[in-house]
């Protein structure tokens, strides 16, 4: 029988723990965690993500500041806003919702965020720290996946973990976190040859492709752990992941659903990173 990994439950536990921690930080240490979220333009998916982040912050006692900027904002103006937020003591975390309109240089903008406020862990300093294992912030989605595996007591050391997708947000940092936990890691991507055969050797298969039903049952080993990072819409407009859930669930030992698997964890880790940022900054002052 397959175990369906319940990301909502794990996320709720983490958020409740954070809520208690924040209330202690406020009353005992006078630390009031806060997050600034910048959204450029009116991409509907980004708007939903940002609203969910704001709501989650408010629920557990993190103050959120939202900056909605027009899609034709100049790079200079956006950098100026980041500079301002870098200097503000009442802002602990800065998140620029991606993707950005094409006239803006995403890399330059991320590199402008003070690394100690970079709660996405996208800044090159934080990326480097993830490589060496000496990190304060973990990238939200990969860290959320690690938390799910740990909560379900899934062994990682010595296992073959196959990751489909090599993005800076998910695939690459995921590989590092798995490596730090002694997994043997393979990263597959659009140019990978024999992708199905490689996936079939995975003890832990992580799909971060962005294509509905990309992972089919014939690509999955009996008893594998299958983690679905995708958020897609199928032909009927229904939310679905990258994995053919209905068929793969009969083969896997554990599987994450979409929605209700990895998604809720990403936001919970963002909250955790914001609390970490607030504590770190209070020590630096």
Q: Which residues are catalytic?
A: 53, 97, 120
Q: Which of 118, 120, 203, 242 binds ligand GUN (CB under 6 A)?
A: 120
Strands 160-164 and 254-255, bridge-based pairing: unpaired
| Residues 184, 158 contacting (CB under 8 angstroms) | yes
**Minimum gap (Å) between residue 24 Cβ and ligand GUN:** 27
**Minimum gap (Å) between residue 110 Cβ and ligand GUN:** 9
| 262 touching ligand GUN, by CB under 6 A | no
| 98 touching ligand GUN, by CB under 6 A | yes
Return the number of the residue (68 or 218) whose C-beta is nearest ligand GUN: 68
Q: Which of 22, 100, 140, 209 binds ligand GUN (CB under 6 A)?
A: 140
Question: If phi over 0 gives left and psi between -120 and 50 gives alpha, with beta otherwise, what is residue 194?
Answer: left
**Minimum gap (Å) between residue 50 Cβ and ligand GUN:** 9
| 81 touching ligand GUN, by CB under 6 A | no
Return the number of the residue (36 or 199) whose C-beta is nearest ligand GUN: 36
Inter-helix orientation angle 7-29/44-60, to 10°: 50
Question: What residues form DSSP beta bridges with 96?
Answer: 38
Question: If phi over 0 gives left and psi between -120 and 50 gives alpha, with beta otherwise, what is residue 184?
Answer: beta
**Minimum gap (Å) between residue 28 Cβ and ligand GUN:** 31
Cβ neighbour number for residue 199 with a 10 Å cutoff: 24
d(CA 56, CA 72): 29
Return the number of the residue (202 or 265) whose C-beta is nearest ligand GUN: 265
If DSSP codes are grouped into helix, strand and coil, which group holds residue 82?
helix
Residues at the contact surface with ligand GUN, assessed by CB under 6 A: 95-98, 120, 140, 169
């Amino acid at each position: 029988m397959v175990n369906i990994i319940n990301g909502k439950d794990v996320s709720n536990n983490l958020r409740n723990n954070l809520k208690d921690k924040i209330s202690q930080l406020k009353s005992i240490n006078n630390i009031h965690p806060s997050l600034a979220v910048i959204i450029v333009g009116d991409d509907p998916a980004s708007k939903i993500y940002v609203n969910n982040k704001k709501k989650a912050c408010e629920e557990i006692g993190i103050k959120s500041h939202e900056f909605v900027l027009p899609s034709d904002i100049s790079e200079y103006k956006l950098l100026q806003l980041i500079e301002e937020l870098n200097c503000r003591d009442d802002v602990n975390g800065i998140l620029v919702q991606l993707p950005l309109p094409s006239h803006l240089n995403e890399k330059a903008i991320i590199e402008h965020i003070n690394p100690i406020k970079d709660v996405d862990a996208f800044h090159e300093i934080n990326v480097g720290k993830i490589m060496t294992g000496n990190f304060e912030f973990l990238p939200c989605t990969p860290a959320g996946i690690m938390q799910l595996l740990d909560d379900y007591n899934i062994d990682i050391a010595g296992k073959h973990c196959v990751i489909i997708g090599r993005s800076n947000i998910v695939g690459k940092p995921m590989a590092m976190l798995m490596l730090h936990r002694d997994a043997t890691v393979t990263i597959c991507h659009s140019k990978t040859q024999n992708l199905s055969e490689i996936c079939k050797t995975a003890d832990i298969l992580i799909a971060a492709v962005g294509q509905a039903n990309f992972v089919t049952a014939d690509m999955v080993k009996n008893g594998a752990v299958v983690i679905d990072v995708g958020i897609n819409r199928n032909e009927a407009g229904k939310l679905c992941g990258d994995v053919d859930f209905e068929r793969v669930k009969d083969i896997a030992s554990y599987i994450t659903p979409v929605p209700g698997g990895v998604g809720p964890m990403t936001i919970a880790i963002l909250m955790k990173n914001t609390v970490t940022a607030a504590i770190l900054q209070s020590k630096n002052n």
